[in-house]
Each structure stands twice: as structure tokens, then as C-alpha cells.
Amino acid sequence: MVREVDKEAIRKWRKRGFYSENVLVKLLKKNGYNAVRIPVSNPSLNPLPDIIARKDAHVYAFEVKNASYYAYFPKQQVEKLFRFLNELVPLDNQFKHAVVAAHLGKKWIFKEINWADWEKNRLPEKVRILKRDRGNLNL
């Protein structure tokens, strides 16, 4: 049985993610990307990213987390980005990008995950982004 307090905590947690996803879509559009939030993205096994964006010939699949100091992206969520790009985007891998995005206060950090790591089954159990980190992708 789920208590009312638990339901409220879940609502707040989901609202934070929704907010960060919308902020990122606006940021991407401001920087010349075509971007949409996937409203049906969920913790299921479906290979759906939180956000899909395109700029020129490149397609980006984003997994987004809202946190205060650090964000963790479990391997399963990163794999879903690659599955989406691999199964549903008919381009060469050089044009497809799996990106984890951490919204840490007013700061965004983006980390693109390497295709070779996914193809060779070498993804880490979780990808971690700390507030002091530098990303490897600039918008």
C-alpha cells in the first residue's frame, strides 16, 4: 500500500524531471537544434530517450536528470539511448549521438557516450556526472 506522503514525493520527483526536460528543449532550440521532449518516456524497457534533437545531419538522444550536486545514469538507461538510435534512426553512427545531461542547479553538463563502448559491450554500470565535472559536448 502506497502512503499519501510517498505519492507526493513521487509527484515532486517527476515534476523536477519534467521541468528539466522542458528547459533543455528550450536551450537546444535557442542553440539551433530541432528538439522535442518524448512525453511517453518512462522507466520501462522501451528504447525511448527523454529528448530527441537534430542539428544539421546529426541526431541526438538525451537522457536527462535533475540533481543538486551529482547525477547517476544507470547502464540500462544509457543502453536505451543506443537501442533507440540503432533501431530507429537510419543513419551512420557518426551522425548519431547518445548523450546524458545533468541539470545541476543553473548548470548543465552534457556527456556523450562513445559508440565503441556500446558496440563492444563495455558500458559502465552507471555513468556519473558531478557538478565540478566538465562535459565532453558543447551545444
| Domain membership of residue 64 as a residue range | 4-130
Taking the C-alpha atoms of residue 71 and residue 120, their distance in angstroms, rounded to an integer, is 25
Read off the amino acid at residue 124. P
- Tens digits of residue pLDDT in 73-106: 999 999 999 999 999 999 999 999 999 999 998 8
The tally of domains found in the chain comes to: 1
Q: CATH number for the domain including 43? A: 3.40.1350.10
DSSP string of 56-72, one letter each residue: TTEEEEEEEEEESSEEE
Beta bridge partners of 60: 53, 97
20 is catalytic: no
Taking the C-alpha atoms of residue 136 and residue 112, their distance in angstroms, rounded to an integer, is 6
pTM, two decimals, is: 0.86
Taking the C-alpha atoms of residue 43 and residue 45, their distance in angstroms, rounded to an integer, is 7
Give domain status of residue 136, yes or no.
no
